[in-house]
Amino acid sequence: MAKALIGYLNSDLRDPRLAADNARLRNRVSELEALVSRLAAENDRLVAAQAADLIAPLEPRQEMQPA
């Protein structure tokens, strides 16, 4: 099937409309990949912040002594 797709894509270069559509789709895929990367990084940051909030109450705190 890969050879069929490669053959199909190679024939797209002969038709300018298909080549333009192919380029547009490639650009859109690149945009979506960048969005996925950004959202994954934001998700990792939020998970780390949530973990820090959950761990913070477990840490021993120094309580003030009466004077």
Separation CA 27–CA 31 (nearest Å):
6
pLDDT of residue 21: 92
Question: Mean pLDDT in each 10-residue stretch from start to end of the chain (67 residues)?
Answer: 58 75 94 97 95 75 65
- Terminus-to-terminus CA distance in the chain, angstroms? 81
Position 62 scores a pLDDT of: 65
